[in-house]
Structure 1
Amino acid sequence: MTSSDQIMHSLERFGALCADPAPLIYQRLFAQHPEFEDLFAMDSDGGVRGSMLTTCFECIIGLAEGSQLPRFELQSARLSHQGYGVPEARLDDMFTIIRDTCRDTLAGEWTPAMDTAWAEILSEIASMNHAPA
């Protein structure tokens, strides 16, 4: 199984085991970065959180599939989040939190190959910091 296959398989299993991962992911995000919770004060219906999470999953899947589009999406997100006081590198934390939540949910199904594939994709995301368009 390729790294791309490992990412996709882990996300498919995650989806099968957790119909709505948003509460788990945002609980972890706010535990690690309590200052971010205030940024969602007006998101009373969870729509902003859901939209952001969808974009994150689309970026992960796009990168796993070899698309260049996530590079531009991430650059745009980094710029727009600076206006909220979110440093570029903190944006990457969301992807690590997604990986960690996926890993914890899969528990015994999580493999060393998945761990390696996720480490590679997280490294790729981090390397996009300050990248020219």
Structure 2
Amino acid sequence: MACPVPDDTAVARSLMRYEEAHGDPAPAIYTRFYAAHPDAEELFAGDALIPRRMMSSIFGILIDLADGTLSPGNSTSWVMDHIAYEVTRPMIETMFGVIVDEIRSGLGEQWSPAMESQWAEVIAQWADAALATYDADV
């Protein structure tokens, strides 16, 4: 994550702790994602910066959703771009899961019930809004 984040939410705290322990989570997240969707890697056309920028944006959205500065319905502008690049609904669904799976795994015993609860809530709300947008536009 390229910028400091406030630590007033469980999502933000978990991202900060992960970065302190392991560095940028983007490579590990994409390793998990590509394992589930090997065909997705070619969508980036070999540009390693694109996934990092995308993940940085995702972290910003997750933090804003967690602290209430962004509503799920206003967090889906990226969906149309992904449809244009032929990103599938299963790819989007997988990405939501691998993000939280990697952060949870990386934190190990530091992962708290508050983190589990807030991540589950934020991911569910964001996924519902994003997938509804996807379904409406495909």
In the TM superposition, what is the alpha-carbon distance from 1:88 to its structure 2 partner?
Answer: 4.2
Q: Deviations over 1:64-118 (max 9, x none)?
A: 11123664342x2111111121134532432321111111110111122211111
Determine the structure 2 residue equivalent to 1:61: 63
The alignment partner of 2:87 has SS state of coil
Runs of 4+ in structure 1 deviating by more than 4 angstroms, as ranges, are none
C-alpha separation in 2, matches of 1:11 and 1:93? 19
Matches within 5 A, 1:2-17: 5-17=9-21
Length, aligned pairs only: 126
Specify the alignment match of 2:44 in structure 1: 40
Give 5+ residue unaligned stretches, structure 1.
none
Which residue of structure 1 lines up, in the alignment, with residue 106 of structure 2? 105
Check whether the contact 2:61–2:70 (CA below 8 A) recurs between aligned residues. Answer: no
One-letter amino acid of the structure 2 residue matched with residue 37 of structure 1: E
Aligned to 1:94: 95
2-structure distance, mates of 1:52, 1:10: 19
C-alpha distance in 2 between matches for 1:42 and 1:125? 28
Structure 2 partner of 1:130: 132
2:85 match: secondary structure: coil
**Alignment root-mean-square deviation, CA:** 2.0
Quick one: percent identity of the two aligned structures?
A: 34
Query: Structure 1 residue 118 and structure 2 residue 119: aligned?
Result: yes
TM value normalised by structure 2: 0.80
Scaled by the length of structure 1, what TM-score is found? 0.83
Q: Distance in 2 between matches of 1:92 and 1:63?
A: 18
Deviates more, 1:88-97 or 1:109-118: 88-97
Report the 3-state secondary structure (helix = DSSP H, G, I; strand = E; otherwise coil) of the residue aligned with 2:9. Answer: helix
Unaligned runs of 5+ in 2: 1-7
